[in-house]
């Protein structure tokens, strides 16, 4: 391969970062059209036709067929999203949309989430296509719009309006998995086998409106404030499911720590505990407030919004559980919701991911985990597609990688991009 700073995967990633696809969640951003057209050009250069699909003007996803479409094997979906969360340039060391390389790291919004994997996929597909190394399995490549706002204009729209584009796919790989962390000085690669459900909540308090200078014992703001403190400070109990129990078994193996306390075992992960710790319990974080219209008027209503995430299997009871925590002076209702997922860490696809990692990092350990957030996998599940997070990156042990998702100075090591290409190429030989 070429030197890391000159390799195609790095250049593709830089070019994608330089196309601003910020998703503000309200259609005020630039959209994904320009990035989708760039991806289409990269595929067309090696003879792969693609289709651009728009859910609304500028909200563009791309779908392409690759691999042996006549193979009796079931189809594999390889997916990434083209949009990114916004970034404020003043907070960053470098321009978040310049794709700058500093100290062997590529900086930029999307460097981790997830234009890095988009670039890895495109680089590997282009190289294999040029060499005539076509996988003996039907492959569907999908680069979606709107993942950062729940996929309503992207993956969900494709499932609802163009399921024909995903026909034949039974399994998928995508973002937030396959990256390494360190436990007891040993590299452990985490493959996402599940993700928490989304339950974004509206919390409403009613009170008695009145003059701000008088006593107001029935103050909606006070009722709401007490409820939010209770919600925000509530310690949800640990309830690890099968994936996290397998992860903890691996931690015990690597550390000799025989504890059965999930929080004690999570401490072995260092900074990654922020993401991994969220995979063992429900969570509720107040995020927005709406109340009042004048300084000296006590409002009759106050509203807050809470980012709620629930573990697989907890969806039916989550809103009622939050209501109990919040108390009787407020009403808790679901505002936006999406399902939780968890798939077994077994089967041919899991074996291929594990073997590909071992061949390029013989000392690797591999285990599953449940991710705190959500991905387009929620949409694919509606078509019966089993999805795993597998965007392989070998990372420095001292890099606080999980903090880079949506974070300031988002960046990826150049050699991690190269490693990802090697592992994905190996994986395609195995599936």
ω before 41 within 30° of 0 (cis)? Answer: no
Of 290, 321, 338, which marks where a domain is finished?
A: 338
Question: Which residues lie below 8 Å from residue 413, measured CB to CB, with a gap of 6+?
Answer: 104, 105, 106, 393, 395, 396, 399
CATH number, domain containing residue 209: 3.30.70.360
274-314: pLDDT as tens digits: 889 999 999 999 999 999 999 999 999 999 999 999 999 99
Looking at the fold, whether 119 and 179 belong to one and the same domain comes out as: yes
* Torsion of the alpha carbons at 181, 338, 408 and 4, rounded to the nearest 10: 50
Alpha helix positions (H), 214-307: 220-233, 242-255, 262-266, 273-277
Contacting residues for 236 by C-beta, under 8 A, at least 6 apart: 281, 282, 283, 284
Is the pLDDT reported for residue 5 higher than 90?
A: no
CB contact set of 308 (below 8 Å; sequence gap of 6+): 198, 199, 200, 201, 282, 283, 284, 318, 319, 322
Q: Report helix, strand or coil for 349.
A: helix
CATH number at residue 100: 3.40.630.10
Rounded distance between C-alpha atoms, residue 384 and residue 100, angstroms? 40
**Are 111 and 201 within one domain?**
no
d(CA 364, CA 175): 20
- Residue-wise pLDDT tens digits, 69-109: 999 999 999 999 999 999 999 999 999 999 999 999 999 99
Q: What is the pLDDT of residues 239-278, one digit of tens each?
A: 999 999 999 999 999 999 999 999 999 999 988 888 899 9
The mean of the pLDDT values for the chain is 96
Q: Give the model confidence (pLDDT) of 318-342 as tens digits.
A: 999 999 999 999 999 999 899 999 9
**What one-character-per-residue DSSP string does 136-204 give?**
SSEEEEEEES-GGGTSTTTHHHHHHH-GGGGTTEEEEEESS-SEEEEETTEEEEEEEEEEPEEEEEEEE
Among 281, 314, 338, residue at a domain's last position:
338
Per-residue confidence (pLDDT) for residue 272, from 0 to 100? 85
Q: Are 107 and 94 in contact (CB under 8 A)?
A: yes
Q: How confident is the model at residue 411 (pLDDT cuts 50, 70, 90)?
A: very high
Q: What percent of the chain has pLDDT over 90?
A: 94
The answer on 392 and 323 residing in a single domain is no
> Whole domain around residue 145: which residue ranges?
4-185+340-430
End-to-end CA, the chain: 23
On whether both 26 and 113 belong to a single domain, the answer is yes
**Residue 49: Cβ-neighbour burial (10 angstroms; 0-12, 13-18, 19+):** exposed
Are 234 and 354 members of one domain?
Answer: no
Say if 190 falls within a structural domain.
no
Query: Is-contact 109 85, C-beta < 8 A?
Result: yes
From 178, 240, 174, 189, select the one nearest 385 (Cα to Cα): 174
Mean of pLDDT values over 396-403: 90
User: CA-CA distance, 80 to 174, in Å (whole number)?
Assistant: 6
The length of the chain is 431
Segment 21-55, tens digit of pLDDT? 999 988 899 999 999 999 999 999 999 999 999 99
């Amino acid at each position: 391969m070429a030197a890391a700073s000159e390799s195609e995967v790095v250049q593709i990633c830089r070019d994608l970062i330089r196309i601003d696809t910020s998703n503000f969640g309200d259609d005020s951003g630039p959209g994904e059209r320009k990035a989708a057209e760039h991806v289409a050009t990269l595929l067309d250069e090696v003879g792969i036709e693609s289709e651009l699909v728009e859910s609304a003007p500028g909200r563009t996803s791309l779908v392409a067929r690759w691999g042996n479409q006549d193979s009796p094997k079931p189809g594999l979906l390889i997916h990434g999203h083209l949009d990114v969360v916004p970034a404020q340039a003043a907070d960053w060391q470098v321009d978040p949309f310049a794709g700058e390389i500093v100290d062997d790291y590529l900086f930029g919004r999307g460097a981790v989430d997830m234009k890095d994997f988009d670039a890895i996929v495109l680089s590997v597909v282009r190289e294999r296509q040029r060499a005539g190394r076509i996988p003996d399995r039907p492959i569907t490549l999908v680069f979606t719009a709107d993942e950062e706002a729940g996929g309503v204009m992207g993956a969900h729209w494709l499932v609802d309006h163009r399921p024909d584009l995903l026909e034949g796919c039974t399994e998928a790989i995508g973002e937030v998995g396959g990256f390494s962390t360190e436990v007891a000085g040993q590299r452990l690669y985490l493959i996402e086998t599940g993700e928490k459900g989304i339950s974004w909540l509206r919390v409403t308090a009613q009170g008695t409106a009145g003059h701000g200078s008088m006593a107001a014992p029935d103050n909606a703001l006070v009722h709401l404030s007490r409820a939010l403190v209770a919600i925000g400070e509530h310690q949800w109990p640990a309830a690890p499911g099968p994936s996290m129990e397998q992860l903890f078994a691996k931690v015990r193996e690597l550390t000799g720590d025989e504890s059965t306390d999930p929080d004690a075992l999570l401490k072995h992960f260092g900074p990654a505990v922020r993401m991994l710790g969220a995979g063992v319990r429900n969570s509720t974080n107040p995020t927005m407030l709406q109340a009042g219209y004048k300084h000296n008027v006590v409002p009759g209503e106050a509203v807050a919004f809470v980012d709620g995430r629930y573990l697989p299997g907890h969806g039916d009871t989550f809103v009622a559980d939050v209501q109990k925590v919040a108390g009787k002076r407020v009403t808790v209702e679901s505002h936006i919701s999406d399902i939780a997922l968890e798939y077994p860490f077994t089967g041919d696809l899991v074996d291929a991911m594990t073997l590909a990692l071992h061949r390029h990092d013989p000392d690797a350990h591999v285990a599953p985990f449940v991710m705190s957030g959500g991905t387009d996998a929620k949409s694919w599940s509606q078509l019966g597609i089993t999805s795993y997070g597998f965007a392989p990156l070998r990372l420095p042990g001292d890099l606080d990688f999980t903090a880079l998702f949506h974070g300031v100075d988002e960046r990826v090591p150049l050699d991690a991009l190269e490693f990802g290409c090697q592992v994905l190429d190996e994986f395609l030989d195995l599936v």
